[in-house]
Structure 1
Amino acid sequence: MKAVLFDLDGTLIDTAADFIRIIQHMCREEGREVVAADLIRTQVSEGARAMVKLVYPELDVDDPIFLAHRQRFLDSYGADIAVDTDLFSGMYSLLEALEAQEIPWGIVTNKPRWLSEALLQALNLTARCAVLVCPEDVTKTKPDPEPMYLAAKQIHLAAEDCIYVGDHPRDIDAGRAAGMYTILAAYGYLPLQYKDDLTAWQADCIVNTVPELQQQLEALLFAKASV
C-alpha cells in the first residue's frame, strides 16, 4: 500500500455539529419539532437532501419548495462551514505520521467541490491534501469506482496500491470495485439502515476509533516504508 484516500464527512472530518446546528435552526424558524441531533448525525453521509428531508418529511424531494429549502440549507452551511467542525480526534497526528513517511493522502467524496474546497481551506488542509475528487470531476459518483480510479491516477498510483477509508456502504463498495484495500470507519456517521451488521459491508477491516485506524495504517504502510 502506497497511499491513503478518505471519505470526507464522517471519516476524515467531524462535520456533524455544524449540520445539526443548521437543521435545528431551520426547525425553529419553521415552528417545527426540532430534529434530534443523533438522528441528524446518521443522515450526514446521505447528503443535504436527506438532512433537509428530516425537517420537511411531507415534501417530495423534487418539489420546488423542497429544493428551495435545500438550497437555503446549503447556503447557510457554505457561509459558516467550520464553526463547530474539526478533524476527528487523533486525525491530526495520523496525517502527520503519513506525511512524515511521505505517504500521500487524499479525499474522494460525494460532497460538492465548492463546499469541499471551502472546508479544506477553513481547516488549513488544502496544501496537505494530495488529491481531491468530487462529484463534478466524474460522470458516476460512489458507489461507482470511477472516482477511485481518478484519485489514484492523479497521484500516479494504481488503484490497488491505495487504501480507502469510509463510513458508508457506498464507500466500501466503490473501494472494493476499484481493487483498493477498504477500511470501514465505524466511528463515523453510520446510516441507520446499515449499522446493525457492519460485516455485511465486506470491508477488509473495521476500526472503531481513529487510533485503531492509525494502528491499522501503520501495519499496512509504515513497515514497508521503514525498510
Structure 2
Amino acid sequence: MKAVLFDLDGTLIDTAADFIRIIQTMCREEGREIVNADLIRTQVSEGARAMVKLVYPELDVEDPIFLAHRQRFLDIYGTNIAVDTALFDRMHPLLEELETHAIPWGIVTNKPRGLSESLLKALHLTERCAVLVCPEDVYKTKPDPEPMFLAANHLKIDAKQIIYVGDHPRDIDAGRNAEMYTILAAYGYLPLQHKDDLKAWQADCIVENVTELHQVIHKLLDINLPMT
C-alpha cells in the first residue's frame, strides 16, 4: 500500500453537528417537530436531499417547494460550513504521521466540489490533501470506480496499492470495484438501512474508531506509525 484515500463526511471529517443544527433550526422556523439528531446523522452520507426530506416528508423531492427548501439548506450550510465541524478525534495525528512518512492522502467524495473545497479551506487542509475528487470531476460517481481510478491516476499510484476508507456501502463498493483495500469506518454516519449488517458490505476491514484505523493503516503501510 502506498497511499490512503478517504470519504469526506463521516469518515475524515465530523460534519454532523452543523447539519443537525441547520435541520433542527429549519424545523423550529417551520413550526415542525424537531428531527432527532441521531436520525439526521444517519442521513448525512445520503446528501442534502435526504436530510431536508426529514423536515418535509410530505413533499416530493422534485417539487419546486422542496427544491427551494433544499437550496435554502445548502445556502445556510455554505455560509456557515465549519461552525461545529472538525476532523474526527485522533485523525489529525494520523494525517501528520502519513505526511511525515511521505504517504499521500486524499479524498474521494460525492459532496459537491464547491462545498468540499470550502470545507477543506476552513479546516486548513487544502494544501495537505494530495487529491480531491468530487462528482463534477467524473461521469459516474461512487459506487462506480471511475472516481477511484481518477484519484489513483492523479497520484500516479496503482489503485491496487491504495487504501480507501468510507462509511457508506457505496464507498466500499467503489473501492472494491477499483480493487483497492477497503476499510469500513463504523464510527461514521452509517445509513440506517445498512447499519445492522456491516459484514454484508464486504469491506476488507471494519474499524470502530480512528485509533483502530491508525493501527490497521500502520500494518498495511508497513511503516512505523506510532500511536499518538
Separation of aligned partners in 1, 2:123 and 2:222? 26
Q: Is the 8 A contact 1:184 1:206 kept in 2?
A: yes
The C-alpha deviation readout for 1:56-91, integer Å capped at 9, x for no partner, is 000000111101100000000000000000000000
Q: What is the aligned length?
A: 225
* Structure 1 equivalent of residue 47 of structure 2: 47
Query: Retained in 1: the 8 A contact 2:218–2:224?
Result: no
AA aligned to 2:125 is: L
The answer on whether the counterparts of 1:106 and 1:131 sit within 8 Å (CA) in structure 2 is: yes
Once superposed, which parts of structure 1, at least 4 consecutive aligned residues long, lie more than 3 Å away?
222-225
Q: Distance in 1 between matches of 2:131 and 2:66?
A: 33
In the TM superposition, residue 223 of structure 1 has moved relative to its aligned partner by 3.2
For residue 194 of structure 2, what is the amino acid of its counterpart?
Answer: Y
Give 3-state SS (helix, strand or coil) of 1:26's partner: helix
Q: Which amino acid in 1 is paired with 2:17?
A: A
CA distance in 2, matches of 1:63, 1:158: 44
1:158, CA displacement in angstroms? 1.1
Residue 101 of structure 1: aligned partner: 101
User: Retained in 2: the 8 A contact 1:101–1:222?
Assistant: no
Matched-pair contact (CA < 8 Å) for 2:43–2:189: yes
Residue 93 of structure 1: CA displacement? 0.4
> Where does residue 9 of structure 1 map in the other structure?
9
Q: Once the two structures are superposed, what CA deviation does each residue of 1:162-187 show, in whole Å capped at 9, x if it has no partner?
A: 00000000000000000100000000
Whether 2:76 is the aligned partner of 1:76: answer yes
Aligned to 1:86: 86
TM-score normalised by length of structure 1: 0.98
Q: Look up the equivalent residue of 1:119 and give its one-letter code.
A: L
Deviation of 1:224 after TM superposition, in Å, equals: 8.8
- Measure, in 2, the Cα distance between the counterparts of 1:208 and 1:23: 27
Tell me the residue number matched to 2:214. 214
- Given that residues 143 and 173 in structure 2 are in contact (C-alpha distance below 8 angstroms), is that contact kept between their aligned partners in structure 1? yes
What percent identity do the matched residue pairs reach? 79
Is contact 2:53-2:61 (8 Å) kept? yes
CA distance in 1, matches of 2:111, 2:77: 12
The aligned amino acid for 1:217 is: I
